[in-house]
């Protein structure tokens, strides 16, 4: 069985081959920098992060008088790790009883799968978990969560119809009464067109705060690592509306082009708590900048 790191490497290598190979036997000249620029852009790093990395790299090559391509690659590795390190932040459990997490993300990003994986992760860290099926607009989403909850010994608070904010409020009260450690509030990724998603989400956040002061303690956004600059736009929009505390980047085992994390680090550095590297329950891993950069460059 492949380890999660192998899955990550396999995913990133499909599109980051250029980042790996362009240094092999290369001379340090404008061609190398041009190729690196293209490779970074292709990897979804975005214009801003790409330019920053190139400038910093050129400066370093000059000041440290690097002459070998491998040294330049090592310098790039160090710069990338430095850039991504601020995104690495462990999720601290047990700060509140219950710790309330609200989880957002557009449909298809992998939100439902991630909630399942995260609940499991929390259980293995001795946290009892309660789920609020806040996507009251999709019956299927609610049912999926209910089935999953029953199978994994996680209570799911759901209502047949009605207001997602009310479901979230009930879930927090219920968790208090049962002394549950963590409440995860699922939310809709798309609404019937007459409703505005961000307004609904803001309302849920507000109502959760009425049920428990200071909650939600975590506002997480799930993004699909394959969607590049689109994912970046989602981070900005959700962060503007909701003040995110963390991201979970999914599907990095697929055709993802890991550079998106550099783009996030440069333009909207919301911590990346976890990365998703597969569809299985164990395929959720805390983000580690060094491991990630090595997977990207090897």
Element (H, E) at 103: strand 99-104
In angstroms, give the least distance from the CB of 166 to ligand GDP. 21
In angstroms, give the least distance from the CB of 116 to ligand GDP. 8
Measured in Å, how far apart are the chain's first and last C-alpha atoms?
A: 20
Q: Please select the residue that binds ligand GDP; options are 43, 113, 181, 288, rule is CB under 6 A.
A: 113
Find out whether 251 is annotated in a ligand binding site: yes
Any idea which residue has 């190729």 for tokens?
35
198, two tokens:
């961000």
CA 219/CA 245 separation, integer angstroms: 5
Residues near 193 by beta carbon (within 8 Å), at least 6 away in sequence? none
- Does 16 help bind ligand GDP (rule: CB under 6 A)? no
Q: Which stretch binds ligand GDP (CB under 6 A): 49-57, 176-184, 236-244, 251-259?
A: 251-259
Contact letters for ligand GDP, residues 162-201 (x by CB under 6 A) = ---------------------------x------------
Find out whether 21 is annotated in a ligand binding site: no
CB-wise, 110 or 246, nearer to ligand GDP?
A: 110
CB-wise, 112 or 181, nearer to ligand GDP?
A: 112
Q: Which stretch binds ligand GDP (CB under 6 A): 37-45, 93-101, 259-267, 273-281?
A: 273-281
- Does 253 help bind ligand GDP (rule: CB under 6 A)? yes
Residue 94 CB coordination number (10 Å) = 11
- Does 230 help bind ligand GDP (rule: CB under 6 A)? no
In angstroms, give the least distance from the CB of 240 to ligand GDP. 20
Q: Where are the alpha helices (DSSP H) in the chain?
A: 4-21, 30-42, 46-63, 69-84, 111-124, 139-151, 164-178, 197-211, 228-242, 260-267, 289-297
CA 260/CA 295 separation, integer angstroms: 14
Could you tell me the CA-to-CA distances from 284 to 54, 77, 121 in Å, in that order? 31, 24, 8
Residues near 58 by beta carbon (within 8 Å), at least 6 away in sequence? 33
Q: Which stretch binds ligand GDP (CB under 6 A): 36-44, 109-117, 228-236, 287-295?
A: 109-117
191, two tokens:
């609404």
- Does 276 help bind ligand GDP (rule: CB under 6 A)? yes
In angstroms, give the least distance from the CB of 78 to ligand GDP. 28
CA 187/CA 241 separation, integer angstroms: 14
CB-wise, 55 or 279, nearer to ligand GDP?
A: 279
In angstroms, give the least distance from the CB of 73 to ligand GDP. 28
Any idea which residue has 């492949």 for tokens?
2
Residues that bind ligand GDP (CB under 6 A): 105, 107-113, 189, 250-251, 253-254, 276-279, 283
Q: Please give the annotated binding residues for GTP, written as ranges.
A: 105-112, 186-190, 250-253
């Amino acid at each position: 069985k492949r380890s999660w790191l192998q899955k990550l490497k396999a995913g990133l290598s499909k599109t980051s081959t250029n980042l790996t190979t362009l240094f092999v036997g290369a001379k340090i000249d404008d061609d190398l920098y041009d190729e690196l620029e293209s490779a970074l852009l292709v990897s979804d790093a975005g214009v801003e992060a790409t330019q920053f990395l190139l400038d910093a790299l050129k400066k370093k090559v000059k000041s440290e008088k690097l002459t070998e391509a491998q040294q330049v690659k090592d310098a790039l590795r160090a710069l990338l790790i430095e850039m991504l390190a601020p995104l690495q932040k462990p999720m601290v459990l047990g700060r509140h009883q219950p710790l309330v997490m609200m989880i957002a993300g557009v449909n298809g990003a992998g939100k439902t799968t991630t909630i399942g994986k995260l609940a499991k992760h929390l259980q293995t860290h001795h946290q009892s978990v309660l789920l609020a099926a806040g996507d009251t607009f999709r019956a299927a989403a609610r049912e999926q969560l209910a089935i999953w909850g029953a199978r994994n010994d996680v209570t799911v608070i759901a209502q047949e119809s009605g207001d997602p904010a009310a479901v979230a409020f009930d879930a927090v009260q219920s968790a208090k009464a049962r002394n549950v450690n963590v409440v995860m509030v699922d939310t809709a990724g798309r609404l019937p067109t007459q409703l505005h998603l961000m307004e609904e989400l803001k309302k849920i956040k507000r109502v959760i705060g009425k049920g428990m002061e200071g909650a939600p303690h975590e506002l997480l956004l799930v993004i699909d690592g394959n969607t590049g600059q689109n994912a970046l736009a989602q981070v900005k929009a959700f962060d503007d509306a909701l003040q995110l505390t963390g991201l979970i980047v999914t599907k990095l085992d697929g055709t993802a082009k890991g550079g998106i994390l550099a783009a996030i680090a440069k333009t909207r550095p919301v911590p990346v708590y976890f990365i998703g590297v597969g569809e299985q329950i164990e395929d959720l891993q805390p983000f580690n900048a060094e491991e990630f950069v090595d997977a990207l460059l090897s």
